[in-house]
Amino acid sequence: MNQMTPPPKVEIIPPSAPFSEAQRSWLNGFFAGLLSTDGPAPLSAEQGATVLQGPTGDGDDGEAPWHDQTMPIADRMKLAEGRSLRRRMMAAMAQQDCGQCGYNCNDYSDAIASKAEPRLNLCVPGGKETARMLRALNEELEKAPPAGAAVAPAAAVSAPAVEPGRSRDNPLPATFVSRRLLNGSGSEKETWHIEFDLSGCGLDYVVGDSFGIFARNDVGHVDQIIALLGASHTTEVRGKTLREVLISDVSLAPAPDTLFELISFITGGAQREKARALAQGEDPDGDAATLDVMAALQKFSGVRPHPEAFVEALEPLQPRLYSISSSHNATPGKLSLTVDCVRYVVGKRRRLGLASTFLAERINPGDQVKVYVQKAHGFALPQDPKTPIIMIGPGTGIAPFRAFLFDRRASGAPGKNWLFFGHQRSSCDFFYADELNAMKTSGLLTRMSLAWSRDGDKKFYVQDRMREVGRELWTWLAEGANIYVCGDAKRMAKDVERALVDIVAQFGARSTDEAVGFVAELKKKGRFQQDVY
């Protein structure tokens, strides 16, 4: 066995300094991390803040009853009333712990409250609602006397520097290799198997991790916006052409409040009132939710902001995350994704999801894309390769489970594997059917349970299939299986959890309350893990 020499203990904070032992030890670690280039990483913002304050340094009990991704923001804020600013900031987040902001919901709010993170617009699923609420709370923070901000000093909770390619703040170029449509003809879906080559950038990953993609806006869309501005695409902005900035640097999706503010400054009368109302989150014409940047310019059609002011009023382009559907152990240097393409129509205009359509149609084999690997927190294969696993992943939710299966095959893990997959139609939406059927034949996939929602007269979902085989599912759980869910956060994940509770109650001979407690305990022990979005 490889015996590691323990690192020398670093004493930077003198014992006489007014800190507890835990605080002193954390600060020593933090400064040691700053001073050394290869030492252990300092603690996360949350760990640091917790040690500095003690877990309830601001009188908070640490509970987050609003931590439910299906709860509207108004209800979340109500539950957080009377709490400290950092906790109310946490309630303002979308509660998905999806990692798109580069943190989880709790760490992101602590980082803002400690002033280590100035960006208030990173919560992608929370969108404008979360950004608005954070701005309001941040104003409170700015006004609060320094003693009132019961969070660690900004310097002490700064995010540690990360290796290139391991964070949204430090992406690397990877090579796009290919795309393949996973749906057959007759499907209402457009889902792509996307492949990247990581050998050039040297990135690796473990199954369960996600891949961050910096996409670029559609050129045709950008040119239409430039025409609405009455500008030339070669106008120089931020040292680049206006066209380049609009393609690569700013979001053209929901029109931000700052754009309406800008419009209100450069117009008058009823237009000005309307723009001002929109900037304040009101909806004077009932169309606020549909206003992307282009629709906003069309709504205020006579208004032509200067390109520089216009770009300044837009939000930076955010990366998108995708669950990795390959295993680095099985195919080193290769990475694949399973991407559902977002396209929809509002009025007469076709709207394009930024990253999904970028992957589906705007890159060519050999192109370089800025990417990073987002480490999974609490979504991984069990450490013991003998542990059975139950995977529930309808639609694109199959992605990490394809990766799990390839990984278990590559490592020769003897644990049993049970997959629940479902989608609209068996004839055209059975992703990876050949691979999965071959895994079933070879015995790697011990069981495969399928649910097709649109094959019959009535909807039939993965949780309906789970209920049908509840007795066996309970037996697997009783044998110590881990259970995983991936895919839609808003409806599917909740419904699957409800089915699981019912199965535990029925076949585990428990009351509903006991079954709820059992499932909560599975989560606490890391035996019930979710990757939902």
Ligand X SMILES: Cc1cc2nc3c(=O)[nH]c(=O)nc-3n(C[C@H](O)[C@H](O)[C@H](O)COP(=O)(O)OP(=O)(O)OC[C@H]3O[C@@H](n4cnc5c(N)ncnc54)[C@H](O)[C@@H]3O)c2cc1C
Residue type, 166: R
Q: Which does 321 bind (CB under 5 to 8 A by kind): ligand NAP, ligand X, none?
A: ligand X
Residue 130: phi, psi to the nearest 5?
A: -65, -45
395 touches ligand NAP (CB under 6 A): yes
Residue type, 198: L
Residue with tokens 């507890």: 20
Query: Mind giving me the DSSP string for 433-452?
Result: HHHHHHHHHHTSSSEEEEEE
Q: Which does 242 bind (CB under 5 to 8 A by kind): ligand NAP, ligand X, none?
A: none
Beta carbon of residue 318, minimum distance to ligand X (angstroms, whole number): 8
Q: How far apart are CA 215 and CA 247, in angstroms?
A: 9
Residue nearest to ligand NAP as judged by C-beta position? 395
Q: Which does 461 bind (CB under 5 to 8 A by kind): ligand X, ligand NAP, none?
A: ligand NAP
Beta carbon of residue 486, minimum distance to ligand X (angstroms, whole number): 8
488 touches ligand NAP (CB under 6 A): yes
Closer CB to ligand X, 28 or 248, in the complex: 248
Beta carbon of residue 210, minimum distance to ligand X (angstroms, whole number): 5
Out of 121, 158, 396, 449, the residue judged to bind ligand NAP by CB under 6 A = 396
3-state secondary structure of 477: helix
Beta carbon of residue 102, minimum distance to ligand NAP (angstroms, whole number): 18
Closer CB to ligand X, 90 or 253, in the complex: 253
422 touches ligand NAP (CB under 6 A): yes
Residue 189 near residue 213 (C-beta atoms within 8 A): no
Q: Which stretch binds ligand NAP (CB under 6 A): 26-34, 174-182, 291-299, 485-493?
A: 485-493
Residue 52 near residue 108 (C-beta atoms within 8 A): no
Q: How far apart are CA 200 and CA 195, in angstroms?
A: 14
> What is the 3 state secondary structure string of 97-152?
CCCCCCCCHHHHHHHHHCCCCCCCCCCCCCHHHHHHHHHHHHHHHHHCCHHHCCCC
Beta carbon of residue 487, minimum distance to ligand NAP (angstroms, whole number): 5
Beta carbon of residue 99, minimum distance to ligand X (angstroms, whole number): 6
Q: How far apart are CA 138 and CA 151, in angstroms?
A: 14
Q: Which does 454 bind (CB under 5 to 8 A by kind): ligand X, ligand NAP, none?
A: ligand NAP
Closer CB to ligand NAP, 230 or 456, in the complex: 456
487 touches ligand NAP (CB under 6 A): yes
Q: Which does 459 bind (CB under 5 to 8 A by kind): ligand NAP, ligand X, none?
A: ligand NAP
Residue 290 DSSP symbol: G
Taking the mean position of all CA atoms in its chain, how far away is CA 436? Answer: 27
Rg (CA), the chain: 25
Q: How far apart are CA 225 and CA 203, in angstroms?
A: 36
244 touches ligand NAP (CB under 6 A): no
Out of 135, 343, 491, 498, the residue judged to bind ligand NAP by CB under 6 A = 491
Beta strands in 133-286 (DSSP E): 172-181, 191-197, 210-214, 236-237, 240-241
Beta carbon of residue 94, minimum distance to ligand NAP (angstroms, whole number): 11
Longest Cα–Cα distance of the chain, Å, equals 77
Beta carbon of residue 352, minimum distance to ligand X (angstroms, whole number): 7
3-state secondary structure of 194: strand
Q: Which residues pair with 372 in a beta bridge?
A: 212
Closer CB to ligand X, 283 or 468, in the complex: 283
- One character per residue 450-469, x = contact with ligand NAP (rule: CB under 6 A): ---xx----x-xxx------
Residue with tokens 């701005």: 135
Q: Which does 487 bind (CB under 5 to 8 A by kind): ligand NAP, ligand X, none?
A: ligand NAP
Cβ within 8 Å of residue 10, ≥6 positions away:
28, 29, 31, 32
Closer CB to ligand NAP, 187 or 446, in the complex: 187
Cβ within 8 Å of residue 502, ≥6 positions away:
467, 470, 515
Beta carbon of residue 402, minimum distance to ligand NAP (angstroms, whole number): 13
Closer CB to ligand X, 208 or 307, in the complex: 208
Out of 78, 135, 343, 490, the residue judged to bind ligand NAP by CB under 6 A = 490
3-state secondary structure of 401: helix
Q: Which stretch binds ligand NAP (CB under 6 A): 40-48, 193-201, 311-319, 484-492?
A: 484-492
Residues contributing to the site for ligand X (CB under 6 A):
98-100, 210, 253, 320-323, 338-340, 342, 344, 353-356, 396, 399, 531, 533
- Angle, helices 45-53 vs 105-113, to 10°: value is 60
Q: How far apart are CA 283 and CA 326, in angstroms?
A: 44
- Angle, helices 45-53 vs 21-35, to 10°: value is 150
Closer CB to ligand X, 149 or 376, in the complex: 376
Closer CB to ligand NAP, 349 or 351, in the complex: 351
- Burial code (b: 16+ CB inside 10 Å, e: under 16) for 407-427 equals bbbeeebebbbbbbbbbbbee
Beta carbon of residue 192, minimum distance to ligand X (angstroms, whole number): 9
Q: Give the interface with ligand NAP as residue ranges (CB under 6 A).
A: 189, 191, 340, 342, 353, 394-397, 422-424, 453-454, 459, 461-463, 487-488, 490-492, 495, 533
